[in-house]
């Protein structure tokens, strides 16, 4: 399988909206964030959204299309992210069932008190109704 990882061309955002609706309905890609896509033969099969803050990135909305799941493509996408992360530190919030997946892909658990305020605000907003999430951190090895 010939895989490429690149930034999404903004003109393709409406197509990505449909992919998210079909494959990850709660994810909503926005034009004001960087989106990295995984493609095979010019067909998007996965993506992850990157929000840049002053001192870190926030990774959110990782999606692999349903027909391409269970092929380690999520791991492949995460392993290719370093060049797209110009800041040293990136965070993500995930359901506990996904924590080991991220840890296997170079993330580590982060304690609430050790993360930047921008991440605390997101964590608080997502968990205020009782949802359980883990905070994970990724240190860019290329910086």
Q: What is the pLDDT of residues 6-31, one digit of tens each?
A: 999 999 999 999 999 999 998 889 88
- Tell me the percentage of the chain whose pLDDT exceeds 70: 100
* β pairing state of 43-52 and 34-40: antiparallel
pLDDT at 136 over 90: yes
From the candidate CATH numbers 3.30.43.10, 3.20.20.140, 3.40.630.30, 3.40.640.10, the one assigned to the domain spanning 3-139: 3.40.630.30
Detail the DSSP E strand segments found in 23-87: 34-40, 43-52, 57-64
Domain segments of the chain as ranges: 3-139
Residue (of 143, 113, 139, 133) closest to 57 by Cα position = 139
Percent helix, strand, coil in the chain, to 5, is 35, 30, 35
pLDDT in tens, 69-83: 999 999 999 999 999
Tell me how far apart the alpha carbons of residues 76 and 84 are, in angstroms, rounded to a whole number. 14
Q: Which residues, other chains included, contact 142 with Cβ-Cβ below 8 Å and sequence gap of 6+? A: 82, 83
* β pairing state of 57-64 and 89-94: parallel
Q: Which residues, other chains included, contact 97 with Cβ-Cβ below 8 Å and sequence gap of 6+? A: none
pLDDT at 41: 93
pLDDT at 30: 87
pLDDT at 79: 94
């Amino acid at each position: 399988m010939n895989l490429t990882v690149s930034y999404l061309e903004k003109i393709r955002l409406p197509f990505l909206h449909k992919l998210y609706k079909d494959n990850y309905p709660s994810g909503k890609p926005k034009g004001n964030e960087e989106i990295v896509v995984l493609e095979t033969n010019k067909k998007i099969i996965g993506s992850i959204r990157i929000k840049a803050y002053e001192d870190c990135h926030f990774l959110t909305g990782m999606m692999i299309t349903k027909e391409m799941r269970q092929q380690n493509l999520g791991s492949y996408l995460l392993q290719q992210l370093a060049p797209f992360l110009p800041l040293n530190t990136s965070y993500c919030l995930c359901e506990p069932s996904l924590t080991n997946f991220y840890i296997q892909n170079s993330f580590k658990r982060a304690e609430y008190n050790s993360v930047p305020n921008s991440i605390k605000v997101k964590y608080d907003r997502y968990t205020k109704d009782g949802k359980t999430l883990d905070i994970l951190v990724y240190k860019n090895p290329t910086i």
